[in-house]
A and B are shown apart, each in its own frame.
Chain A
Amino acid sequence: MTWINLAVRNLFRNGRRSLFTIAAIALGFLAVNALGGFTAYIFSSLKDSYIYAEANGHLTIFKEGFLDKGKLDPTLYLLSEQELGTIKEILSHYPEVVIATPQLQISGLLSNGHVSTIFVASGRVPSDMQTISRQAGGAMGKIKLYDGKPLTNDAVYGIGVSHGLAKQLNLKLGSSAVAMAPTVSGQINALDAQLLQFIDAPIEALEDKLATVPLQFAQNLYDTKNVDRLTVLLKNNDQTYAIRERLASEFAAADLKLEIKTWNELSPFYTKVKKMFNVIFLITFLIVFTIVVMSVVNTVTMAVMERTREIGTLRALGMKRTGIVALFSLESMALGSFGSLLGVALTLLLVNMIELLRPTWIPPQITREVPLQIHMVSEYWLYSVLLLLLLSLLSAILPARKAARMEITNALGYA
């Protein structure tokens, strides 16, 4: 017989009570890891959506001051062809860089010939956007965020507009429109455009304003060869901060006055969602923590009461106070272990059920249904097991110490 064996046998002296406690621990594990897995799915989806589906990459390089004062004097803060060439030359020495693609964001009026309304658009290189989208690992990164035909490098005047903007101007796929905007030198310019696609606006405020155009279209409208940013896609998200540091040093050495922003710095929505889910996770964790601690404390306290005479017997036979604490702690750890095992099984069952049933939902910032998933985050699972074991152990300490401090003669006389 081992003490672990005795602890496990003791657990099942009141099987129903122990099973309830094990179930409480298991459901706690399930709750924390289901929410944790869903949170991880949300974070990774938002990240993939921003980096790959919306083709914003991991890093974006601006001319220093562009984000603060770029709108006041665009000519001063645009990247020239020469600067772009120098930057691309530096980036070419980085094997971690998959692609670096320029962008020019524009705003102006879009007209159907009768009515005009404002629009904002990003001018991009269509083939580069497709290259970025192809690099996505998860489903969310590959999601098609438009209806209609893809933009191409050759169809310079083929554009996409958001559903709301198209509705305002009564534009159908294939319809013609006119885009008007002041050039960088302040002259009014107008270009014919053909609607190739309806795009999803990431936020409601842009639903009646957003457009996407080929870079060349944007440059023609603004009458410039310059761009306002360079989007850099890396092979691995983990490299983001290290590459930024290295690039910043190299740019400074090359006397380039640039600033580099990471994808999450440019995506405040991601940061807000992450903070919100962290709070939800913390609240859930605290509820689980309370349930687990109270269940284990109740179970061990009842066990101590029911087995007072037995505690007296063990003490009479020579077991030290620490031995009594250790025995009840072992029982509590056994509760934690069985609860965690059951929790792992239940969570696996849930994850596999979701995998099998493939439910869909419409997450924030995306207007179409996507598969709902719960990721299996091994660190969460490991930490949950360790934490539940620790909680079980700590919960047992007080009642176990109380048991150990009993007078032997009182314990032996306990009926």
Chain B
Amino acid sequence: MPTPALTPLIELRRAIKHYSLGEGQITALKGIDLTIYPGEFVAIWGPSGSGKSTLCNLIGLLDTPSSGTVRFNGQDAAALSDDQRSEARNRSIGFIFQGFNLIPVLSAVENVMLPLQIGHPSSRLSKEAAIKRLTEVGLASHIDHRPTKLSGGQQQRVAIARALIASPALVVADEPTANLDSENALKVIDLMRKISKKEGTTFVFSTHDERLLDRVDRQIMMRDGEAVEDRKTTLKSGKMAGVSL
């Protein structure tokens, strides 16, 4: 388990999120207080509709709270303009999605290059970095494959490489294993954990699969928009699936 640094990476204080639904309103998050430190490997778990994805969205600066504050690296997300939040996501946050969300017309390496290209570095440097990341996730021989030519597990590994290309401080993954079989799900989580330990990257992922929880440092259980449990865990030996870095 990492030793928390003194400066938090993410801080949520009384974060509330309402959504309009027709003429009514539903409250997805009911005043969350949460602090995540650099290097933590955190699972947010709970049943469907418990607010996991909404919490991931706030942590990843994809959304802002209806009230309360979300701070990323000490900066209040609500004080940032849309462009500033875009820049912060591009520089400091990687995303892994349940449906992989790869661009179908781009090859694996081009998908991985995307975050760097959005930030405007040269194509050559982006490509070199992307090939390096794809090699790390075991897809060196698939760099020119389009997503449709890759299996679900391979696509998610491309997505992981894409999330890591800019060496972000934080990776947010919303149900990254939901579309994978059990074996691939464990491999993906173990791959994420290895990278987190190797590079000190903070990982926050949501899941409803309890089998993954003994592979994380910290579990935050959500129910009805509230964090009902925040527990640190110890990784049991022999639980790592066969992944290499």
Measured CA separation A9–B103 after assembly (Å): 11
Indicate whether A1 sits within 8 Å of B97 (C-beta atoms), given known contacts A6-B106, A320-B82. no
Cβ of A316 and Cβ of B118 under 8 Å apart?
A: no
Which residues of the partner chain B approach A6 to less than 8 Å between Cβ atoms? 103, 105-106
Q: How far is the CB of B226 from chain A (nearest CB, A)?
A: 20
Cβ of B113 and Cβ of A1 under 8 Å apart?
A: yes
Cβ of A314 and Cβ of B118 under 8 Å apart?
A: yes
Which residues of the partner chain A approach B35 to less than 8 Å between Cβ atoms? none
Cβ of B105 and Cβ of A2 under 8 Å apart?
A: no
Which residues of the partner chain B approach A315 to less than 8 Å between Cβ atoms? 86
Measured CA separation A310–B106 after assembly (Å): 12
Which residues of the partner chain A approach B103 to less than 8 Å between Cβ atoms? 6, 310, 313
Cβ of B86 and Cβ of A320 under 8 Å apart?
A: yes
For the complex, is A318 an interface residue (Cβ under 8 Å from B)? yes
Q: Please count how many residues in chain A sit with their CB below 8 Å of the partner chain's CB atoms.
A: 24
Instruction: Give the interface segment out of B87-95, B131-139, B178-186, B208-216.
Output: B87-95
Cβ of B82 and Cβ of A316 under 8 Å apart?
A: no
1/0 per position for A194-220, CB-CB distance to B under 8 A? 000000000000000000000000000
Q: Interface residues of B: mostly helix, strand, loop or mixed?
A: helix
1/0 per position for A361-385, CB-CB distance to B under 8 A? 0000000000000000000000000
Chain B residue at minimum C-beta to C-beta distance from A319: B118
For the complex, is A10 an interface residue (Cβ under 8 Å from B)? yes
- Other-chain contact of A318, B86, B101, B123 (Cβ < 8 Å): B86
For the complex, is B110 an interface residue (Cβ under 8 Å from A)? yes
- Other-chain contact of A317, B83, B90, B99, B106 (Cβ < 8 Å): B90
Measured CA separation A320–B103 after assembly (Å): 17
1/0 per position for B37-67, CB-CB distance to A under 8 A? 0000000000000000000010010110000
Cβ of A412 and Cβ of B97 under 8 Å apart?
A: yes
Chain A residue at minimum C-beta to C-beta distance from B57: A409
For the complex, is A309 an interface residue (Cβ under 8 Å from B)? yes
Which residues of the partner chain A approach B90 to less than 8 Å between Cβ atoms? 317-319
For the complex, is A13 an interface residue (Cβ under 8 Å from B)? yes
Which residues of the partner chain A approach B99 to less than 8 Å between Cβ atoms? 309
B window 90-135: CB within 8 A of A? 90-91, 95, 97, 99, 101, 103-106, 110, 113-115, 117-119, 123
Cβ of A318 and Cβ of B97 under 8 Å apart?
A: no
Cβ of A318 and Cβ of B117 under 8 Å apart?
A: no
- Other-chain contact of B91, A310, A313, A318 (Cβ < 8 Å): A318
Cβ of B105 and Cβ of A13 under 8 Å apart?
A: yes
Measured CA separation A319–B119 after assembly (Å): 8
For the complex, is A354 an interface residue (Cβ under 8 Å from B)? no
Which residues of the partner chain B approach A323 to less than 8 Å between Cβ atoms? 118
Which residues of the partner chain A approach B118 to less than 8 Å between Cβ atoms? 314, 317-319, 323
Measured CA separation A9–B123 after assembly (Å): 17
Measured CA separation A317–B171 after assembly (Å): 11
For the complex, is A265 an interface residue (Cβ under 8 Å from B)? no
Cβ of B105 and Cβ of A9 under 8 Å apart?
A: yes
Candidate in B95, B105, B113, B114 with the most chain A CB atoms within 10 angstroms:
B105
Cβ of A319 and Cβ of B105 under 8 Å apart?
A: no
Q: How far is the CB of B168 from chain A (nearest CB, A)?
A: 10
A window 318-332: CB within 8 A of B? 318-321, 323
For the complex, is A407 an interface residue (Cβ under 8 Å from B)? yes
Which residues of the partner chain B approach A313 to less than 8 Å between Cβ atoms? 95, 97, 101, 103
Q: How far is the CB of B121 from chain A (nearest CB, A)?
A: 13
Chain B residue at minimum C-beta to C-beta distance from A317: B115
Which residues of the partner chain B approach A409 to less than 8 Å between Cβ atoms? 57, 62-63
Cβ of B104 and Cβ of A316 under 8 Å apart?
A: no
Measured CA separation A315–B90 after assembly (Å): 9
Which residues of the partner chain B approach A10 to less than 8 Å between Cβ atoms? 105
Cβ of A318 and Cβ of B119 under 8 Å apart?
A: yes
Measured CA separation A145–B75 after assembly (Å): 87
Measured CA separation A1–B125 after assembly (Å): 12
Measured CA separation A6–B119 after assembly (Å): 16
Which residues of the partner chain B approach A316 to less than 8 Å between Cβ atoms? 60, 62, 89, 95
Measured CA separation A2–B127 after assembly (Å): 12
Q: How far is the CB of A413 from chain B (nearest CB, A)?
A: 8
Cβ of B110 and Cβ of A1 under 8 Å apart?
A: yes
Measured CA separation A310–B123 after assembly (Å): 21
Chain B residue at minimum C-beta to C-beta distance from A404: B82
Chain A residue at minimum C-beta to C-beta distance from B88: A318
Which residues of the partner chain B approach A412 to less than 8 Å between Cβ atoms? 62, 97, 101
Cβ of B123 and Cβ of A1 under 8 Å apart?
A: yes
- With A317-B114, A412-B101 already in contact, 6 other A-B pairs whose C-beta atoms are closer than 8 Å: A1-B113, A2-B123, A309-B99, A310-B101, A316-B89, A318-B91
Pairs across A and B, CB under 8 Å, 21 listed: A1-B110, A1-B113, A2-B123, A6-B105, A9-B106, A310-B101, A313-B101, A314-B114, A316-B60, A317-B90, A318-B86, A318-B90, A318-B115, A320-B82, A320-B83, A320-B86, A321-B83, A321-B86, A407-B63, A409-B57, A409-B63
**CB-based closest 3 A-B pairs:** A318-B90, A9-B105, A313-B101
Point out residues on B near A: beta carbons under 8 Å.
57, 60, 62-63, 82-83, 86-87, 89-91, 95, 97, 99, 101, 103-106, 110, 113-115, 117-119, 123, 162
